[in-house]
Homo-oligomer: A and B are copies of this chain.
Amino acid sequence: MTPPNTARRRETSRRAILTAAFDLLQEVEYAKLSIEGIAARAGVGKQTIYRWWPSKGAVVLDAFLMLSEGAEGEPIRLPDTGDLAADLTEVLRATVVELTDARYEQPMRALATEIAHDPELAATYAQRLDGPLREAKRQRLRSAQLAGQLADDLDLDVAVDLIWGPLFQRWLHRGGPLTTDYTDRLVATALDGLRPRR
């Protein structure tokens, strides 16, 4: 068994490393982020980092997981006022605020692009970070479906992708401004579809 003091010291080092990685990503571009740099900022030896993480992408992912730990094990929930359009509009507007927040934008871009090149990291991300969030989105849509507000035969995974995929792409590729006009139209168009409603 690991003695309690050792476990506590390890946890302190782990948090220092993750905080250092996150902070550094606000100062340097991801390509220039190094394990050496993280170790120096965290005040640990770089071997400690190499021992605990397979890549710098994995460190960044764990830094995001630490940030989302705040909720203390409670499952994520999307607002559910009974008005699906209003709830989704609110969530998407809040997502834009987060995506463009100076503290998070560079680290999120780093994570998004590491996942694109690293299938193993993508699997961990899908399971631990995106998984619980996606489940919350699905639950909100399921609640609307049970209330007869969404089609009975709707594929909830496709529905989640339709609402959040366009926003992600526009953000990642800077394809256009992330205005509330855009997010509100996106929600309305996804709900109503492209065809005329008669």
Residues in A lying within 8 Å of B, measured CB to CB? 29-31, 109, 112-113, 115-117, 119, 122-123, 125-126, 130, 141, 148-152, 154-155, 157-159, 161-162, 164-170, 172-176, 182, 185-186, 189-197
Contact = CB atoms under 8 A, between A and B. Distances in A.
Contact of A193 (B30, B112, B117, B193): B193
Contact of A194 (B172, B174, B191, B196): B191
The 3 closest A-B pairs by CB, nearest first: A193-B193, A165-B166, A161-B166
A188 to B, nearest CB: 9
Q: Is the interface of A mostly helix, strand, loop or mixed?
A: helix
A177 to B, nearest CB: 11
Interface core residue of A30, A113, A170 (most chain B CB under 10 Å): A113
A19 B169 CA distance: 28
Given A29-B117, A113-B117, 17 more contacts: A31-B31, A31-B117, A113-B116, A115-B173, A115-B174, A116-B172, A119-B174, A141-B194, A158-B166, A158-B185, A159-B189, A162-B162, A162-B166, A162-B190, A164-B169, A165-B170, A191-B195
